[in-house]
Amino acid sequence: MKNRPLVAVLQFPGSNCEYETASVVRDSGMDAAIFRWNQWKELSDSAPDAFILPGGFSFQDRVRAGAVAAKEEIMDLVFNEAQSGKPVLGICNGAQILVESGLVPGWENGRIESALAANHIHGRSGYLSRWLFLRVNARALRVSPWLGMIGNSAIPVPIAHAEGRFVFAEKDNHRVSECMALTYCDENGVEISDYPVNPNGSFMNLAGIMNKEGNILAMMPHPERAFWMWQIPPWIPGAWGDRRTSLNHDPALAASSGPGALFFRSLADYFELISREDV
């Protein structure tokens, strides 16, 4: 590994969150570089330590969100590196790509075992953009390099998607708990399967799923949009909202970290642990 771990942020035609994602990676103490979907060789040569597939509308969501990008040659490399244990994070459209790649839940290597279907819950369907709360599954907290610093309490993070409803084949529903990483909850951490706590009808309130090893995480909410405290709306209920409100008119607000930073700092912390073990 280099002095600072390198995180590759992949840019497909239609990605639109790559710059802010790379920026928050750097603000978390790691290096970040953006690679276009056709820079297979450059990506391979730079040997990144982790990969992020950012949000957006890769290939204009043609055919199905994430379906075309999942078949791109550059995803062969991501697929192989993910199988070797390197951390991979898919955010929103990136999560859709990981699902369509068969990287998550990954019960059988490369098999498509889940879908991010159109939002559909009693009282709401279609595109939805709003803040909501997440909590981390206990096992995911232990095994995922993306989640270690988040802890047990609920954190506010925004969503913005039309196809974010995790579904699985009926025969697989009994094993979904193995891949649970993030679930929608209220500000007290209570999971409620109705709208608005569950914004899209996602099975078991899932906001994010991972592979068995935990190194691959596909999540619909956008942690990069909650990286700084000033990005959090003051009206958000709970401890994070209180903290945000207390910083109103305080110059410290500009440099205070928000809940989304915990995802990226978990990764930095994970690399720090690895480098200490290497020594």
Partner 1 sequence: MTDISIVVRLKAPDPAAMTALSTLKRINPGICPGMLERYDYWQFIRPLDGKKTVEKIVSHFHDIVNPNKQSWRFTGGSGSIHSGGEELIWTEVLVTDKVDSISENWTDILRRNRYEVEKVMYSVLWRLGYPSGTSLTEARERTLALTVTSYRDQGLLANPVSQNINLLDQV
Chain contacts with partner 1 (rule: CB under 8 A): 59-60, 62-64, 67-68, 70-71, 73, 75, 79, 100-102, 110-120, 125-126, 165, 167-169, 201
Q: Cα separations (Å) of 86 from 50, 78, 279?
A: 6, 9, 19
Token pair recorded at residue 257:
């970290």
Q: Cα separations (Å) of 53 from 152, 158, 185, 205, 249?
A: 26, 17, 25, 22, 35
Phi, psi (deg, nearest 5) at residue 90:
-115, 125
Shortest Å, Cβ 276 to partner 1? 35
Shortest Å, Cβ 60 to partner 1? 7
Nearer residue to partner 1 within complex by CB, 35 or 166: 166
Token pair recorded at residue 69:
């990008």
Instruction: Confirm whether 222 is a catalytic residue.
Output: yes
Shortest Å, Cβ 147 to partner 1? 25
Instruction: Confirm whether 120 is a catalytic residue.
Output: no
Nearer residue to partner 1 within complex by CB, 85 or 110: 110
Nearer residue to partner 1 within complex by CB, 121 or 149: 121
Which is nearest to 166 in space by CA: 98, 262, 227, 233?
Answer: 98
Shortest Å, Cβ 169 to partner 1? 5
d(CA 165, CA 195) in angstroms, rounded, equals 13
d(CA 258, CA 236) in angstroms, rounded, equals 12
Instruction: Confirm whether 187 is a catalytic residue.
Output: no
Active-site entry in 18, 72, 81, 92: 92
Nearer residue to partner 1 within complex by CB, 108 or 278: 108
Which is nearest to 262 in space by CA: 207, 218, 223, 217?
Answer: 223
Active-site entry in 18, 81, 100, 224: 224
Residue 55 DSSP class:
S
Cis amide leading into 233 (omega within 30) = no
Nearer residue to partner 1 within complex by CB, 70 or 261: 70
Which residues participate in catalysis according to the annotation? 92, 222, 224
